[in-house]
Structure 1
Amino acid sequence: MSQDHMVPLIQQKANENGGQLVSEKKYTFPLGGNNNNINESRILEVTIKEKCDTDYSMITWPAAPVLSKFMIKHRSQFAGKRILELGSGTGLCGIVGALLGAKLIVTDSHLARQKSSLLDVNILQNNLIIGTDDSIEDIDPKVIHIFPLTWGRFTGVFFKIPLIDAIIASDCFYDPNDFEDILMTLAYFMTRNPETVCYTTYQVRNSSWNIECVMKRWNLHCECVHVDYEDDDGDYDQSQGQRSRSTILIYKITREPRT
């Protein structure tokens, strides 16, 4: 298998914690190539705890390892940059970004933040630090800031977040009822800094869903930058059948389409 198609090795174990099933997954990502900023083992390991819960944010969704792998392959585009993650959930993508040297601000809905501190646990157990408000302007790559941010709800949190270079989001385009709110949120940050781009990975679940009209309304454009097919690897759950997970680049329509 070529470096381009190498996927994370996932090891999982589970136990009871307070009457709730808690599982722990270890994602082992092959790094490939040469990069003096990454340790010589050429492996990036991330440990993620999950909970058996009906809440979306308690498990790592299938697109998260795909987006993480994309970030690793293109890590020069993320290292040293200020990155905002939407819908962080268990935190896999944000943690990978921080370990690659990006300056991460991770967010999840107000409800998710009220319900669980699982995101905090995962950040700390991967030897990263949770930042405070007074350090938000000058983020150390080992420090991750966490904010409650509900898509489309313009609370004071939006105005705390400084200008960002890129946004990441995995499996956020899941419920069509949320599509407008997600794109409205992207449009806000891209209006503040027109150079901001968003990398989002999603799994096709319904071929009739289309965000093109909504994107035009918010003056956004997108292009596909990577497609990951489930049958390219043996580590993902095959129970949902053969599906593709696409990573798309979203940007303000004033930008020139990339070649």
Structure 2
Amino acid sequence: MALVPYSGGGALPGLHSPAVTYHFAGRPLRIEQSWAQQGVAAVVWDAAVVLCAYLEAGSVDLRERTVIELGAGTGLLGIVAALLGARVTVTDRAAALALLESNVRANLPPELQPRAAVKELTWGKDLGGFPAGAFDLILGSDIVYLEDTFADLLRTLEHLCAAHTVVLLSCRIRYERDLSFLEMLRGRFSVQEVHYDPSKDVHVYKAQRAGRKDEI
């Protein structure tokens, strides 16, 4: 996730709180935030909360699955995936890693710490450090918002995906460019909307290599 300030109006007061608490997988999760220093990359957005709830509801079997989260920000989504049984690689750009690492370590019990690795990933640039097609599931929440990153994000998804890999992206459709990315994605993947939360106006999309409809 790019480290840029959010310029839109109507930012929720909770985004400026130093920490927020959620309950997932039977545990309270205290997530530190840092809006002033890192902007949108260091706060919890509704799209992450909705995708966490989607996973917790059992929509995807995460037990012993290999999962990578892109643009993890505060790490809430990756933490929940690990608590639900996945082996998770949680990624973001270098400047976000300290906060990300702190949240992951603070919210996973010692016996689950080995299930979560925090790694640097700049879309389209650091792909050599990640085995091609090695993941069962790719997660991303509110990572579709900067048009300049779309080509690199798509290139990253193509590198990480094998035929069996499922991509889950949660987002709020704010701008025409968000729809443009979905069209780009449909050019390379089979894409379907699998969930919509009307209370938060958040969509969850599932993508797989074109022609594949496997479930994980």
Contact 1:13 1:25 in 2 (8 A): yes
Offset at residue 45 of structure 1 (A): 2.1
Q: Which of 139, 164, 168 is the aligned partner of 2:139?
A: 168
Matches within 5 A, 1:142-157: 142-157=114-129
Q: Answer 1 or 2: higher relative contact order, Cα 8 Å, separation at least 6.
A: 2
Contact 2:142 2:172 in 1 (8 A): yes
Larger Rg computed on CA atoms: 1
AA in 1 matched with 2:196: V
Structure 1: how far apart are the matches of 2:51 and 2:124?
Answer: 23
Structure 2: how far apart are the matches of 1:129 and 1:119?
Answer: 17
Contact 1:66 1:201 in 2 (8 A): yes
Q: Give the 3 Å change call, closer, same or farther, for CA 221–76 of structure 1 in structure 2.
A: closer
TM-score (norm 2): 0.82
Contact 1:222 1:251 in 2 (8 A): yes
Aligned residues: 201
Structure 1: how far apart are the matches of 2:163 and 2:125?
Answer: 21
Offset at residue 205 of structure 1 (A): 0.4
Q: Give the 3 Å change call, closer, same or farther, for CA 257–102 of structure 1 in structure 2.
A: closer
Cα root mean square deviation, aligned: 2.8
Q: Give the 3 Å change call, closer, same or farther, for CA 141–123 of structure 1 in structure 2.
A: closer
- Within the alignment, does 1:58 sit opposite 2:30 as a pair? no
Structure 2: how far apart are the matches of 1:165 and 1:251?
Answer: 11
- Within the alignment, does 1:47 sit opposite 2:30 as a pair? yes
Task: Determine which structure has the larger strand proportion and give its number.
Answer: 1
Contact 2:144 2:181 in 1 (8 A): no
Contact 2:164 2:214 in 1 (8 A): no
TM-score (norm 1): 0.69
Q: Which runs of 5+ in 2 are unaligned?
A: 1-12
Matches within 5 A, 1:211-250: 211-217=181-187, 219-230=188-199, 244-250=201-207
Offset at residue 154 of structure 1 (A): 4.0
Structure 2: how far apart are the matches of 1:196 and 1:143?
Answer: 19
AA in 2 matched with 1:97: A
Matches within 5 A, 1:184-195: 184-190=155-161, 193-195=162-164
- Within the alignment, does 1:179 sit opposite 2:150 as a pair? yes
Q: % of aligned pairs identical?
A: 27
Q: Which runs of 5+ in 1 are unaligned?
A: 1-11, 15-20, 32-42, 131-139, 231-242
Structure 1: how far apart are the matches of 2:214 and 2:86?
Answer: 25
